[in-house]
Homo-oligomer: A and B are copies of this chain.
């Protein structure tokens, strides 16, 4: 890792000259000024991936929601809160050679978010929330007609039928790889330090052993470099 960091500081490494966008963390979707809907994502895995790609010499734009871990050093950090802000930040960061969408983006936002704090009205009924579907960042970038990154990688946080759901997601979104993991509470992965992922590519699914998230990140970065790391 020291060798890699020195390489990166010198602008060397197999991903030298490559621009990578990494998204990370949760998004927060406001309900009113004091309430919001969030995802259980600490940003640990996305942060580790951004650091591992930096260590291989890539220029990294790190688009992060409100994560509980600090962003890596040596990358360009763009902080966002909502899914729509995250899509805008990704679009502004293009073009890129590689996009890794590790953020846990909210599928829905509250369409009737209030400008003032919602109050109990004495009826015991909650104010009705109306939801709108958020933009799909992974599908949007995967299906770009021009300027699509050469390698687009999505994540699938599943609780049931992990491989089947993730394979279907890869087809539906049009991305190249899916990094699938089982976030069932029993696994202790969500918010933990380890991850057990299955890499879904055109060739099928490849189960990785349970590893520290840093090691998952290094393996994924090495795999990316093996595909795209040839000198430009």
Which residues in A have some Cβ–Cβ distance to B below 8 Å?
28, 31, 33-41, 68, 104, 106-108, 116-118, 120, 124-126, 129, 131-133, 157-160, 183-185, 190
Contact = CB atoms under 8 A, between A and B. Distances in A.
A116 B159 contact: yes
A34 to B, nearest CB: 5
Contacts of A34: 39-41, 104, 157, 159, 183, 190
Given A33-B184, A34-B157, A107-B118, 18 more contacts: A33-B40, A33-B185, A34-B39, A34-B190, A35-B39, A35-B40, A36-B38, A36-B40, A38-B38, A68-B68, A107-B120, A107-B126, A116-B159, A117-B183, A120-B133, A124-B133, A126-B131, A129-B129
Contacts of A120: 107, 133
Contact of A108 (B104, B117, B126, B132): B126
As for how many copies of this chain the complex holds, the number is 2
A31 B31 CA distance: 14
A116 B160 contact: yes
Contacts of A106: 35
A35 B116 CA distance: 23
A35 to B, nearest CB: 6
Given A107-B126, A116-B160, A133-B126, A31 B37 contact: yes
Contacts of A129: 129, 131
A117 B157 contact: yes
A146 to B, nearest CB: 26
A116 B160 CA distance: 7
Nearest to A106: B35
B159 A117 contact: yes
A228 to B, nearest CB: 30
A200 B184 CA distance: 45
A129 B160 CA distance: 21
Contacts of A184: 33
A118 B131 CA distance: 14
A187 to B, nearest CB: 10
Contacts of A108: 126
A37 B40 contact: no
